[in-house]
C-alpha cells in the first residue's frame, strides 16, 4: 500500500509542477500595455519589493504615489510568495502586496484498490487401503492455488485551503498637468 501512496503523491506533485497561480489568475489593468508604454507610470528600477499585509488591507497600497497595474486572486492549498515576486517581475511591477486568509478544509477518504497475492496451499496425504491383493500404503502432496482477489482501502485526507491575493504596483510619474493613469477595470466591482 505504501507504493500506491507514493505513486499518488508523485502524480499530484507533477500536476502542480510549473503552475504559477499568481500568473494564471492575473488580471491586467493596463489593457495589455507594458508599464514603459504608459506615460504616467515610472518603470521600476531593480527587483520588485514584496509587502505582506493583513487580509482586510488587500488591494491597498501602504504608500501614496503608486498606481495599481494588476492583481491576482485565487484559492488553493498553498501559494508560494516567490511566485508572486516572479509575476511582479513579469508585469514590470515595482511593488507586490500579498495577503492570504484561511478559507476552508476539505476532508474525505480516497479509495485505493489493490490486488491481493494468490494463496497457495499444500497438503500432504498418507494412508493405506486394503483390497483383494492385500494392504497397500500411499502418500503424496497436492497443491491448490486460490486467486487473491482485491482489497479496497480508504485513505483519509484533510486539505486546508486559503484565499490568496496579490496586487501589483508601480510609481506614478510626477509630471505637472499630466493625467494620472486610472485602472481600466475596478478589481472589486468589475466596472470600467
Percent of the chain with pLDDT over 90: 46
* Prediction pTM value: 0.63
> What DSSP letter does each residue of 112-137 carry, written as one string?
EEEEPPPEEEEEEEEEEEEETTEEEE
Query: Which residues, 6+ apart, have CB-to-CB distance to 18 below 8 Å?
Result: none
| DSSP assigned state of 67 | E
Mean pLDDT, to the nearest integer, of 92-98?
94
Could you identify the residue written with the cell 508604454? 37
> What DSSP letter does each residue of 18-86 carry, written as one string?
T--HHHHTEEESSTT--GGG-TTEEPP-SSPEEEE--GGGTT--SSSSEEEEEEEEEEES---HHHHHH
Tell me: pLDDT of 185 over 80.
no
Residue pLDDT, tens place only, 13-33: 444 445 899 999 999 999 899
Query: Which residues, 6+ apart, have CB-to-CB distance to 165 below 8 Å?
Result: 55, 58, 59, 71, 72, 73, 98, 99, 100
Residue pLDDT, tens place only, 115-170: 999 999 888 888 888 888 888 888 889 899 989 899 999 999 999 999 999 999 99
Q: What is the predicted pLDDT for the residue at 14? A: 43
| DSSP assigned state of 46 | S
Residue pLDDT, tens place only, 50-86: 999 998 888 888 788 899 999 999 999 887 888 999 9
- pLDDT band for 10, please (50, 70, 90 cuts): very low
Q: How far is CA 77 from CA 20, 83, 102, 103, 179, in A?
A: 13, 14, 9, 9, 41
Amino acid at each position: 500500500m505504501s507504493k500506491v501512496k507514493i505513486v499518488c503523491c508523485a502524480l499530484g506533485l507533477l500536476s502542480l509542477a510549473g503552475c504559477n497561480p499568481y500568473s494564471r489568475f492575473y488580471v491586467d489593468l493596463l489593457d495589455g500595455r507594458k508599464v514603459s508604454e504608459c506615460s504616467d507610470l515610472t518603470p521600476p528600477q531593480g527587483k520588485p519589493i514584496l509587502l505582506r499585509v493583513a487580509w482586510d488591507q488587500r488591494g491597498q497600497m501602504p504608500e501614496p504615489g503608486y498606481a495599481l497595474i494588476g492583481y491576482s486572486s485565487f484559492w488553493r492549498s498553498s501559494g508560494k510568495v516567490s511566485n508572486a515576486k516572479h509575476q511582479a517581475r513579469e508585469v514590470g511591477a515595482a511593488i507586490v502586496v500579498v495577503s492570504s486568509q484561511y478559507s476552508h478544509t476539505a476532508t474525505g477518504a480516497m479509495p485505493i484498490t489493490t490486488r491481493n497475492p494468490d494463496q497457495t496451499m499444500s497438503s500432504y496425504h498418507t494412508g493405506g487401503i486394503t483390497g483383494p491383493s492385500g494392504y497397500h500404503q500411499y502418500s503424496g502432496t497436492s497443491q491448490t492455488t486460490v486467486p487473491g482477489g482485491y482489497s479496497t482501502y480508504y485513505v483519509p485526507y484533510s486539505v486546508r485551503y486559503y484565499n490568496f491575493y496579490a496586487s501589483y504596483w508601480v510609481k506614478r510619474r510626477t509630471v505637472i498637468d499630466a493625467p494620472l493613469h486610472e485602472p481600466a477595470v475596478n478589481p472589486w466591482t468589475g466596472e470600467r
